[in-house]
Chain A
Amino acid sequence: MQTTEKRQLKVLAAKARLGAIIGTFNAKSGHPGGSLSAADIMTYLYFKEMNVDPSDPKKADRDRFVLSKGHCCPSLYAILALKGFFEWEELTKLRHVGAMLQGHPDMKGTPGIDMSTGSLGQGVSAACGMALAGKFDNKDYRVYTVLGDGECEEGQVWEAAMFAAHNKLDNLVVIVDQNGLQIDGPVCEVCGIEPLDKKFESFGFNVIKINGHCFDEIEAALENAKTVKGKPTAILAKTVKGKGVSFMEDQVDWHGKGPNKEEYEKATQELEAQIAELEGEC
């Protein structure tokens, strides 16, 4: 990937993080930690990979995205706003009464959201349904879904994995945002899921392990997925929860709370400085 393009993606990802902070600050709640860890993956998908059209959000042949870890929608909302699906100002009303942006994604009310999610484990199954429909109709769209690593404790994830492999859904890419933390603590202490790569492999997946903050690795993995026929791909993306905001990084406490005024100001200063620095380089 060209350096300039990579910098542009980094700027967008930093803006997505800023949007997630603005959203969760104004909501006085929400999930900044996982929103920040998944921001680079979702930025790449929306700005480099997926065929989507903000002026026609329901376009039949579009690629689909399902945020199976629905609670991490603040950064997805920011990305959709940056992409032009709705106004950036909507982020300031996140989780407010009457707002378009709900606490978890609502496909009925928010342009660009392909599936309502929030109850863990269900989004990956819905993504299987979309991929199956694509195969059935001989469409060449692809379906991407992002799961949490804690989410992999849900049995339904593995029901979906069996179904995806059995039906040879090679148009499906499951990306696990492996930030290693869940509400009650480190995933390995709550109810360990490792070896996740061997699990997905044994379920019939093409498995790729990457650094989920490296655009080159994200790109290479998604390109690899396109070349693999007859089986779905699982990308296990190692990430840092709270990535991009120094005091949130790798802190389990930042799973599900909004920043206070002081924390908000510190976080936005950090992110704005990152954006300014990157834009200076562009």
Chain B
Amino acid sequence: MANTVTKATRESFGEALCELAKENDKIVVLDADLAGATKTSIFKKAFPERFFDCGIAEGNMMSISAGLASCGKIPVAASFAMFATGRAYEQIRNSVGYPHLNVKIAGSHAGISTGEDGATHQCLEDVALMRTIPGMTVLCPADHYEMMAATKAAIELEGPVYIRLGRLAIDSFNDPDTYKFELGKGITLHEGNDITVIATGLVVNEAKKAVEELEKEGHSVRLINIHTIKPIDRDIIIKAAKETGRLITIEEHNVIGGLGDAVCDVVTSECPVPVRKVGVYDRYGYSGPAWELLEAFGLTATGIAKVIREEIAKK
């Protein structure tokens, strides 16, 4: 594809904020001493007067954002996913979520692809934590173009949003000319009837490569990209469960509380089918180059293809 770009979603997010801020003067950005890493530095450079560094105090940042939102601003509060959603969970729940304030929370360095920094910085729980907050929209875009569109949608939505950003530069796979982001709607990237793979975030492209490989082997695998984990697209999941009878979920997150559980919540009540949850199995990550870690955790095309073959064999 002509328009493939290789870029970390954190960078796409920073660029999107700048674009949106030109049109919307309510947007202000807060960071907790990680602007260079979360890429809110891009916004800071363009709109220094609308950028507030809270220092290393994430809980304070979330409650300050709540106060700003109560006065009509659209605060975007960014930090590493670990500290934004982990350390400041209770501030998000009580200061932002409970009053349903218009705060956008950006968690970068999510997942094991954070790499060398190791377990303390590889957040594997952010989606689970943010899903528990009533009224919170949870977004996990998969490439540059999706992140640009998702950021716009997050700003346009009145209410709290969590948006998951990655550190690792990844290839885009969406076609900017035809790509359409619709909040709460999954996207079928590949049609198929033997089994369905449902993925989110940076592993979507890996799943796509795996599905294409399986197709060459003669298997018909459906691939769905879920960029909105909450509210989740129930229809696309139920349809896939009914038509293919077996699901595999792929996420760079603990299998407890993430996309896999969100999908299970839907199928168990509507159309129970076997679901294989692929992710990080209730453990911590460790230091290492991102791609080596993804490989080790079975989250690259090779590992995903292996799981798909195993699950097809069970049918």
Contacts and interface: CB of A to CB of B under 8 A. Distances in A.
Which of B63, B68, B69, B73 has the most CB atoms of chain A within a 10 A radius of its CB?
Answer: B63
A129 B99 contact: no
Nearest to A161: B60
Interface residues of A, number: 32
Interface stretch (A3-11, A119-127, A235-243): A119-127
Interface string A207-246: 0000000000000000000000000000000000000000
B66 interface: yes
- Prevailing SS type, chain A contact patch: helix
B55 interface: yes
Given A108-B99, A125-B67, A126-B70, A118 B57 contact: no
B297 interface: no
A114 B72 CA distance: 13
B59 A132 contact: no
B60 A156 contact: yes
Interface in B69-115: 69-73, 75, 90-91, 94-95, 98-100
Contacts of A35: none
A129 B55 contact: no
Given A133-B72, A167-B52, A119 B90 contact: yes
Interface in A158-175: 159-160, 162-163, 166-167
A257 to B, nearest CB: 23
A129 B67 contact: yes
Interface residues of B, number: 28
B169 interface: no
Contacts of B68: 129-130, 132-133
A163 B54 contact: yes
A134 B68 CA distance: 9
B73 A126 contact: no
A37 interface: no
A203 to B, nearest CB: 13
Contacts of A119: 90-91, 94-95
B28 interface: yes
Contacts of A156: 57, 59-60, 63, 91
A159 B59 contact: yes
Nearest to B97: A116
A76 interface: no
In the complex, the 6 A-B pairs of residues with the closest C-beta atoms, listed nearest first: A129-B67, A125-B63, A133-B71, A159-B60, A126-B67, A159-B57
12 contacts: A116-B99, A122-B95, A125-B63, A126-B63, A128-B60, A129-B68, A129-B75, A132-B67, A132-B68, A133-B71, A136-B73, A162-B57
Given A119-B90, A128-B67, 15 more contacts: A108-B98, A115-B95, A116-B98, A119-B91, A119-B95, A125-B64, A125-B67, A126-B63, A126-B70, A128-B64, A129-B70, A129-B75, A132-B67, A136-B28, A166-B55
